[in-house]
Amino acid sequence: MPTPAPAVRSALQDAFDYCLSTLRELDRDRYLACLLMPEAMRRDMAALYLFNAEIARVRDLVREPLPGEIRLQWWRDLLEKSANGEDAGPLAAALFDVIGRHRLPRKVLMSMCEARIFDLYDDPMPSRNDFEGYAGETASALIQLGLMIAAPAHAQSHAETAGHAGVAQAVAGALLLMPRHAARGQVYLPLDMLLAAGLDRDAFLARSDKARIDTAIEIFATFGLEHLEKARAHLPMSGEAFAPLLPVALTRNVLKKALKAKAGVFETDIGSGPLGAQWRLWRASRTRTL
């Protein structure tokens, strides 16, 4: 690939600086993970992570589904039709540079946008298989794209690890955000798990049967832990290949806290907190374990 002219390099550097600084505001956990990566990898991962943060927060930015679908369609059209994201903003400039240098498959990024349409509506997640599919096209895909940036020679061999890690991460994320989701009528906990606990969507949102909600949360958190254990069984040993998995190091703590809190996840902060997150990420970067 030709070396960019100095003016272009300067503009790109500004774009990557924007991605890292904005990521700090929108996704602090992945921002902290980026700080533990080598500088060259850090900027590319920051662009990828910020793209993920932008499409993940669309529901928070709109009042109705249609404007959200338009935002996601804008990204899909850009990825499908634009050569370099020119004049589409600093995130697009940085992201398209990363796509070009690392030969990232645009269809995967477009599928990430497509999967996020689910976030715009209040339909319950039908089953655990559907949740795994949703996680596969969002959290797992993000890890796999990160592997293509950090360790392309090993990306395919660690695809299964990325798949399981992404599901575990998506479960933890749904548990962390459960109070916000429930407040607007969203239920990410799969319907077949709710039914196994003797609940349906409306009963879960009503929160009147604490014992059954305890059971549902336990089933869901255990489901996440099972996927995390499968990911832990085949972790990459090289630092470069492990780096895209760093954010997953925060998952176990969330799932364990959810198992303890159960229905209390609606009132209890089950996150690590800034200092706890920094420590867990640092430890994972040194031990290469989740």
Q: Please give the pLDDT value at position 160.
A: 95
What pLDDT is attached to residue 166?
Answer: 98
Find, among 135, 120, 246, the residue nearest to 181 by Cα: 120
Scored b (16 or more CB within 10 A) or e, 183-216 reads: eeebbbbbbebbeebebebebbbeeebeebbebb
Q: Are 172 and 254 in contact (CB under 8 A)?
A: yes
Task: Using alpha carbons, list the distances in angstroms from residue 240 to 41, 74, 285.
Answer: 9, 32, 10
* Residue carrying structure tokens 């996020």: 116
Name, in order, each residue with C-beta under 8 angstroms of 63's C-beta and a sequence gap of 6 or more: none
Both tokens of 28, joined, read: 């602090």
Residue ranges in the chain modelled with pLDDT below 70: 1-9
Given 3.30.830.10, 1.10.600.10, 1.10.1840.10, 3.40.50.920, which CATH number is that of 122-290?
Answer: 1.10.600.10
The span from the CA of 290 to the CA of 284, in Å, is: 6
Euclidean distance between the first and final Cα of the chain, in Å? 36
Per-residue model confidence (pLDDT) at position 44:
97
- pLDDT (0 to 100) of residue 40: 85
Q: Distance between CA atoms of 9 and 4, rounded to whole angstroms?
A: 6
Q: Contact at 8 Å (CB) between 16 and 47?
A: yes
Cβ(244)–Cβ(149) below 8 Å: yes
pLDDT at 273: 86
Return the pLDDT at 2.
Answer: 52
Question: Model confidence over 123-163: pLDDT tens digits?
Answer: 989 999 999 999 999 999 999 999 999 999 989 999 999 99
Dist. CA 68–CA 86, nearest whole Å: 23
Q: Closest Cα to residue 244, out of 146, 102, 157, 108?
A: 146
DSSP 79-139: HHH-SS-TTS-HHHHHHHHHHHHHT--HHHHHHHHHHGGGGGS-PPP--HHHHHHHHIIII
**What pLDDT sits at residue 6?**
57
**Do the Cβ atoms of 284 and 249 come closer than 8 Å?**
yes
Where in the chain are the domains?
Answer: 1-104, 122-290
Tell me the whole-structure pTM to 2 decimals: 0.93
